[in-house]
Structure 1
Amino acid sequence: MCHCHKLGEGGVDGRVSSLGVGDQVGPINAPTVFNAAFNMAQFWDGRAADLQAQAGGPPMNPIEMASESWDEIIAKLDQDALLKADFRRVYANGVTGDNITDAIAEFEKTLITPDSPFDRYLKGDSDALTAQQKHGYQLFQQNKCGTCHTGSTLGASPMRSWG
């Protein structure tokens, strides 16, 4: 079970700093996985160019997942005969580090929210948002948040350090 990207809770863990292996506290929180395919780069600091590059980071991070190597991960996954067979059906060379990160990236590409209340509001459905949400959007516009938060997901672009 993924503890950092809870799909039922907006694709995040709801924490200021995410918990890792042994309840170690990480330095930042986990960004949402929803609509990540539209990000110009991955991670809060943009250090991964795409979803596959991002997927390779957490497994080797000593706080997040603390694996020693891809061989260690592959050995664990190979114990599941069904998973191993599924990988063989999709990837000729079976379970490899590259194939694991590709599979994660392909899954993340399905986590799209094309019909959110905000999407419907922008398409003209004035009842799609609550009064509080409309007020928030008005503040977003008045305070020129769109200067940085642009694109289809209103994500910040380019990456900036704010402290």
Structure 2
Amino acid sequence: MYFLTHLAAAALVGRYARLAPTWLVAGAALPDLVDKPLGTLGLVDLYHTVGHTALLAPLAVAVALTGRAGLAVAVGWASHLFLDAFHIVINGRPTDALFLVWPMAVPPDPLALPPGAFFRYYLWSPSFFLEVAFWLALAGLAVRERRAGRSLLNRA
């Protein structure tokens, strides 16, 4: 799943969960802001490692307990992990979802593509079409909210 889709999905969660969209988006950005540079610099072999491991859940719970902003960051982070695992599974690579327990387990045959090569792989995959549908639905919702004189991010 693409970075901007993670951010948009997190902001949309804020509309219904009554959590601050800014903090949700920050939490949703964290996994890629940590792991993509590590992978690009060759410090790790995969692009789903430290920031994408569900083994950080206790830390996320601790952050969530700091207040509503912390809860929003934790929910945004969790939404990123869920969406990445979901898109990997529907694209037919369920063992790649082992990134969720990195470093305890590593996918046996990880895709391990840099972002540019990943784009070519991702085009026309089942997850690609779901992502396009998400953006079309989001655009439709934005138009509807604008016509009603409301902001997309503020639930009235």
Bin of the TM-score, shorter chain as denominator length: under 0.3
Greater gyration radius: 1
TM-score of the two chains, using structure 1 as the length reference: 0.27
Relative to the length of structure 2, the TM-score reads 0.28
Point out the structure with the larger helix share: 2
Question: Whose relative contact order is higher, 1 or 2, with alpha carbons under 8 Å and at least 6 apart?
Answer: 2
